[in-house]
Structure 1
């Protein structure tokens, strides 16, 4: 049987045919140009991790109702690209999982370990925060290790309740990643390694000497 060009195109389209997506897992990251309308989400299940694009119709709702660490059920569409060997996923419906439908403790523990992300809601851009690019190019250069280093440094310096860590989209410096930014200073750093993080966190968020003295005076018992 002779295979024609038209037949090859038909086979290629068949391999890329979309199918329904139905997942349950924990939100590891939400990001987009605006924290109020996240465009993408990283979902970690017991046996897989997927990056999903949120449909425009649910982005506003997601920004107001979801945060990293939430367990959700996602319904949408998925398409496999054999050339890139990856799945392209789109979330069309997201349902928070209540107590009655929460995953088993074993599933929750396994997914939480893989996600390794703090459960904090995105705030206003002016609030203290460290933005860490989590797009594929930066992740290949160690962005996930940088994210973990930021989280650890904030905890060690007692700043984890005051400063938020956010996974973001592309910062337009892909070849110079990993890329991070500090708010509200609007300082950006390229090619960051985990070893640099403690000093950068201290530089941007450590209280001044005057603030430290004032805090000590307020904490001291009154005579």
Structure 2
């Protein structure tokens, strides 16, 4: 999804009947189909939660979906992405508490340059210290560190990009980066 073509409009809250899963144009199951009185919605599910939903949700379950709604500037259509899903009805055989079905928080991602310029200027050490700091603060489940190629700011190395938001950071201390992530 190209973030330049989308504008974050608001959060949404939809309570309705789960109809099943819908796939993208390549046949991958990515969406929950939810029916309400006025129609049907396709809501994108985070990749790491899809297998969980396939095991837990059954057609005709009542669910509550909370997430973000973005407007495609070119088509004028809304794109819905789930951040939290609660199953409101339980089968008599299931032993899952209603509020513990799923609560995902958008993960932050840190893109860290691992090319020679950044490595020479402390990139490897920064990466190791950042991983340790995130573990110490209990943030390792909210952040994914991804090693990348050149970020085109070699003179300001070591470089990294904090996602979402594409915030470029150069030469920062791991504690400062962890504080930024806590405030997301």
TM-score by length of 2: 0.40
* TM-score, length-scaled by structure 1: 0.33
- The structure in which a higher percent of residues are helix is 1
Q: Higher strand share goes to which structure?
A: 2
The structure number with the bigger radius of gyration is 1
